[in-house]
């Protein structure tokens, strides 16, 4: 089996909570359809450490310019304050390269601003923090395609708002075909409700 790489973008003021469910469970083979099918590697504009909004310092594994979308299973773009200043434009452009190559992209919170700036939300169903936020981005004409759902998956693109990290992860897992449908339903039910009954359903779905 060839292990495929899911690339997690890193930049200063990275929102720590927005990608944790996704990366932890992609790297954890428990309950997966094909354990070990994916690995997560981090990618930055340079190899210089970034500082998250929570004050953690993380050193990227790879430089963005060196990554070919053909070698990627998905590009995950978390939110960060730097999206609003335009400092992450290179990652918005990368999202276009990934999608043009037929490789999925997942963007949450401020990262949807970068996608809007690239014109990537003008013809795809999508979500985000609020349509009003995206409407302020020059060139954005996709307001009729904006959804208030917690997370939206359409045409190889997963989008969500800052308060929907759990749903963001669920749609990433669906896009990657990480779990059997019944397993994914039980996993989401457990983390959404904290009801132990869902753990029993999760174990039953796996077995």
Give me the mean pLDDT over the 8-30 stretch.
97
Rg (CA), the chain: 16
Give me the mean pLDDT over the 133-137 stretch.
96
The yes-or-no verdict on residue 52 having pLDDT over 80 is yes
Does residue 53 sit in helix, strand or coil? coil
- 81 is known as an active-site residue: no
Percent of the chain with pLDDT over 90: 99
Give me the mean pLDDT over the 72-76 stretch.
98
Nearest CA among 69, 73, 109, 61 for reference residue 93? 69
Under the banding of pLDDT at 50, 70 and 90, the label for residue 1 is confident
The yes-or-no verdict on residue 29 having pLDDT over 90 is yes
Looking at residue 36, what is its pLDDT?
92
Distance CA 17, CA 70 (A): 28
The yes-or-no verdict on residue 28 having pLDDT over 90 is yes
Domains of the chain: 4-176 (3.40.50.880), 180-207 (no CATH)
Under the banding of pLDDT at 50, 70 and 90, the label for residue 195 is very high
Looking at residue 116, what is its pLDDT?
98
Which member of 6, 109, 134, 151 is catalytic?
109
Asked whether the CA dihedral 120, 122, 123, 128 is positive or negative, the reply is positive
Give me the mean pLDDT over the 123-132 stretch.
97
Looking at residue 160, what is its pLDDT?
98
């Amino acid at each position: 089996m060839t292990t495929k790489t899911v690339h997690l973008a890193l930049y200063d003021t990275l929102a720590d909570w927005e990608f944790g469910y996704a990366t932890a469970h992609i790297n954890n083979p428990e309950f997966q359809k094909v354990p070990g099918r994916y690995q997560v590697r981090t990618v930055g504009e340079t190899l210089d450490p970034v500082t998250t909004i929570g004050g953690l310092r993380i050193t990227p594994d790879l430089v963005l310019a060196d990554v070919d979308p053909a070698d990627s299973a998905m590009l995950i773009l978390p939110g960060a304050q730097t999206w609003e200043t335009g400092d992450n434009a290179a990652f918005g452009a990368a999202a276009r390269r990934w999608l043009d190559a037929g490789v999925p992209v997942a963007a949450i919170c401020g990262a949807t601003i970068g996608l809007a700036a690239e014109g990537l939300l003008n013809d795809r169903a999508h979500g985000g923090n609020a349509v009003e936020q995206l409407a302020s981005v020059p060139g954005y004409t996709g307001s009729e395609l904006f959804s208030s759902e917690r997370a939206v998956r359409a045409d190889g693109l997963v989008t969500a708002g800052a308060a929907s990290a759990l749903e963001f992860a669920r749609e990433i897992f669906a896009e990657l075909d990480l779990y059997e449908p019944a397993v994914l339903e039980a996993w989401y039910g457990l983390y959404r409700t904290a009801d132990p009954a869902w753990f029993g359903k999760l174990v039953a779905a796996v077995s």
